[in-house]
Amino acid sequence: MSTAASIGAPAGEGALAVICGGGSLPFAVAGAAARRGRRVVLFALRGWADPQRVAGYRHHWIRLGQVGRFLRLAREEGCHDVVAIGSVVRPTLWQLRPDLGMIPLLPRVARMFQGGDAHLLAGVAGLLEEQGFRLVAAQELAPDILMPEGTIGMRQPSEAARRDIAHGLALLRATGPFDVGQAVVVAEHNILAVEAAEGTDQMLARVAELRRSGRIGVAGGVLVKAPKPGQDRRIDLPTIGPQTIEGAARAGLDGLALMAGGSFVAEPESIATLADRAKLFVFGVRDEAPGR
């Protein structure tokens, strides 16, 4: 535990606990809340959160399995609202190494692990709320981390790319009920790759490799990412960062399409620069499907 610039007095909403994974998004959220005068406490996930940036906030380091430690410290810090943000690869139940406070919850947590990511995260949300906390969506605190409508950077998707985007979104809607991944790669109406447990970066690396080996007979293509239908948007919205642009460029794609208002964008300025340099579009699609 250490202290640093925790800015301002508690607002009416009380202190905010930020469970902090990898990447820059947690600091965008923490910063936005702090600028509005909110007391912010980071719960930095060991192995994921960036130590240098964590040091700028009041913080505690926790392991993923230290549910007991989190609940105790968050109460001591007077936090009622909790936001969870940043990249974490889904752990195995064993990797959690549960602490004492988690042991009574273990049967329940084990059940949460029997399903896809959305199932797991819904379980985490329910658990926090039962313990008297309120799970807050990161985008409520920092709306500017959401993908806007239209493009980031200078490129626009072609008509053909727009058709591929619609095709990819339709496939993601069809697979939504199965709690699979949230991304596909489409080129000239061909589905080149569907994301599941491997994640977006590895799926893009696969497309790059298939292309190098001549296994893909069409040019270009689009990475399409969307939230699952009915997904709890307080946790785990699809996210892109600079590494997504780099992966898409290596995969020979023409661009990326994300649901406007339904995806997070980390470091939009770097993304715009990289996308322009790689001649990729980054396009926020309006959410038109009912019930998304």
Strand segments, DSSP code E, in 159-228 are 183-187, 190-194, 222-225
| 170 scored as a contact of a second copy (CB under 8 A) | yes
Helix (H, G, I), strand (E, B) or coil at 84: strand
Closest distance to a second copy from the beta carbon of 17 (Å)? 25
Listed ranges 64-72, 121-129, 140-148, 193-201: which one lies at the site for a second copy (CB under 8 A): 193-201
| 201 scored as a contact of a second copy (CB under 8 A) | no
Size of the site for a second copy (CB under 8 A): 43
Return the DSSP state at 57: S
Among 62, 102, 145, 180, binds a second copy (CB under 8 A): 180
| 5 scored as a contact of a second copy (CB under 8 A) | no
> 155-189: b or e for each residue (b if 16 or more CB lie within 10 Å)?
bebeeebeebbebbbebbeebbeebbbbbbbbbee
The Cα–Cα gap between 258 and 275 comes to: 14
The Cα–Cα gap between 109 and 96 comes to: 10
Tokens of 183: 């991304």
The Cα–Cα gap between 221 and 257 comes to: 11
Among 130, 140, 149, 198, binds a second copy (CB under 8 A): 198
Among 12, 92, 269, 291, binds a second copy (CB under 8 A): 92
| 114 scored as a contact of a second copy (CB under 8 A) | yes
Helices (H) and strands (E) in the chain, counts: 10, 13
Listed ranges 77-85, 89-97, 121-129, 263-271: which one lies at the site for a second copy (CB under 8 A): 89-97
| 230 scored as a contact of a second copy (CB under 8 A) | no
Nearer to a second copy, 136 or 192 (CB): 192
Tokens of 259: 């649901």
Nearer to a second copy, 94 or 286 (CB): 94
Name the residues that contact a second copy, by CB under 8 A.
89-95, 113-116, 167, 170-171, 174-175, 177-181, 184-185, 188-198, 202, 206-207, 210, 214-218
